[in-house]
Amino acid sequence: MARKLPMYKAISEAIAQEMERDENVFVMGEDIGAYGGIFGATSGLLEKFGLDRVRDTPISESAFIGAALGAASKGMRPIVELMFVDFFGVAMDQIYNHIAKAHYMSGGQVKMPIVITTAIGGGYSDAAQHSQCLYGLFAHVPGLKIVIPSNSYDAKGLMISSIRDDNPVMYFFHKGLMGLGWMPSPEEAAVEVPEEPYTVPIGEAKVVREGDDVTIATVSRMVYEALWAAEELEKAGINAEVLDLRTLVPLDRKTLINSVKKTGRLLVVDEDYMSYGMSGEVITSVVEKVGNELKALPRRIAYPDVPVPYSRVLEKFVLPDKEKIIAAVKEMVQ
């Protein structure tokens, strides 16, 4: 049976079902117990599984994220939440020097079945230290899988895949997709979700709208900006294909390249910072293979290389959106 679920409930349901299936799965993080996670991703877990397996932590991130490594080395499958991606600086060493590298450095002896979850994204005036995406930063480090769902169906299936994966997975949920009520969220993100457990494979992009004129490749909340832009572009006679990359590591280059081969044009939309990030990687992946088949220069709309400003007017100016996508596509197709 499927029913419409907001993303936050789909995520907590996925975690609950995996905790029932596998007693090695447990959760740690700040305010993930009684509060159910500031963004609801662990709601109901404490009541179901108790304090041993649902552990509210002190604000000691390098300790509890590092502890995930130790627990994983003994066969546990920890899920650790750190509220906002902006806060990871304080625990970075455990992630990028240890969790990401342990399997490789140990010659494959050590497995790291860890899921690190966090909230991303702006658009509601939470300013420079609470609005970033930063998935590009983690995607840059070898050894971390990067998962970024855009709707509740994918959120549940990708969470189950992440928990079952023997590698560290960083799982990014956009605050503006969770369907929380107190934070604006597109209705389209809350879709039908089967009650029973299922997986969505890590490493498969999804064509969420078919078109022939241009490929818009993106992730997370920007999927909706792209879809809304595509609707309007259709009225102007332009057919945009929208590709939800869903995971950045591994990146589904095959689906991406096939789409661009068909449309001949590529626009990447990214809420993360422009330089040295997802947009550059996606464009390069295409240009390296089929650059000579392009009908227009590839383009990107990403967060300009500035911190996220607080004031609503400033933030709106820099945040990628439907209007910016429409303008760019029109220039590319002309």
Partner 1 sequence: MGVEEIPKETLLEMYRTMHKIRTYEETLAKWYYEGKSPRFDISAGPIPGELHLSSGQESAAVGMCIHLKPEDAVIGTHRAHHFAIAKGVDLKKMTAEIFGKATGLSGGKGGHMHLFDVSKNFSCSGIVGASFPQAVGVGIAAKLKGEDYVAVAVGGDGAANQGTFHEALNLAAVWKLPVIFLIEDNGWAISVPKEKSTAVAKNSERAKAYGIPGVSVDGADVIAVYEVAKEAVERARRGEGPSLIEVRTYRLRGHFEGDPQLYRPKEDLELAKEKDPLRNFEKLLLEKGIATEEELSRIREENEKEVQEAIDFALKSPYPEPEEALKGVFAGGD
Q: Which stretches of 167-241 are DSSP H helices?
A: 222-235
90 is an interface residue for ligand TPP by CB under 6 A: yes
| DSSP reduced 3-state for 263 | helix
| Sign of the alpha-carbon torsion through 117, 122, 126, 132 | positive
- Per CB under 8 A, the list member of 60, 97, 106, 284 interacting with partner 1 is 60
CB of 57: closest distance to ligand TPP in angstroms? Answer: 9
- Per CB under 8 A, the list member of 124, 188, 204, 280 interacting with partner 1 is 124
129 is an interface residue for partner 1 by CB under 8 A: yes
The answer to whether the CB of 251 falls within 8 A of the CB of 309 is no
Residue list 196-255, contact with ligand TPP (CB under 6 A): none
- Per CB under 6 A, the list member of 44, 73, 87, 321 interacting with ligand TPP is 87
- Mark whether 103 is an active-site residue: no
Residue closer to ligand TPP (CB basis): 58 or 107: 58
Residue closer to partner 1 (CB basis): 87 or 198: 87
Nearest to 49 by CA among 79, 21, 26: 26
The answer to whether the CB of 266 falls within 8 A of the CB of 283 is yes
9 phi, psi to nearest 5 deg: -75, -35
128 is an interface residue for partner 1 by CB under 8 A: yes
Paired with 325 in beta bridges are none
The answer to whether the CB of 170 falls within 8 A of the CB of 135 is yes
The number of residues in the chain equals: 334
Residue list 32-71, contact with ligand TPP (CB under 6 A): 59, 61
Whole-angstrom distance, CA of residue 111 vs CA of residue 75: 8
CB of 136: closest distance to ligand TPP in angstroms? Answer: 20
Residue closer to partner 1 (CB basis): 30 or 270: 30
Name the active-site residue from 98, 130, 140, 174.
130
Which of these segments, 17-25, 73-81, 248-256, 310-318, binds partner 1 (CB under 8 A)?
A: 310-318
83 is an interface residue for ligand TPP by CB under 6 A: yes
Paired with 147 in beta bridges are 171, 247
- Per CB under 6 A, the list member of 13, 18, 30, 241 interacting with ligand TPP is 30
CA contacts within 13 A on the Cβ side of 316? 4
90 is an interface residue for partner 1 by CB under 8 A: yes
Residue 80 tokens, joined: 């650790």
Query: Which residues would be at the binding site for partner 1 (CB under 8 A)?
Result: 30-31, 33-35, 38, 56-63, 86-87, 89-90, 123-130, 181-184, 304-307, 309-318
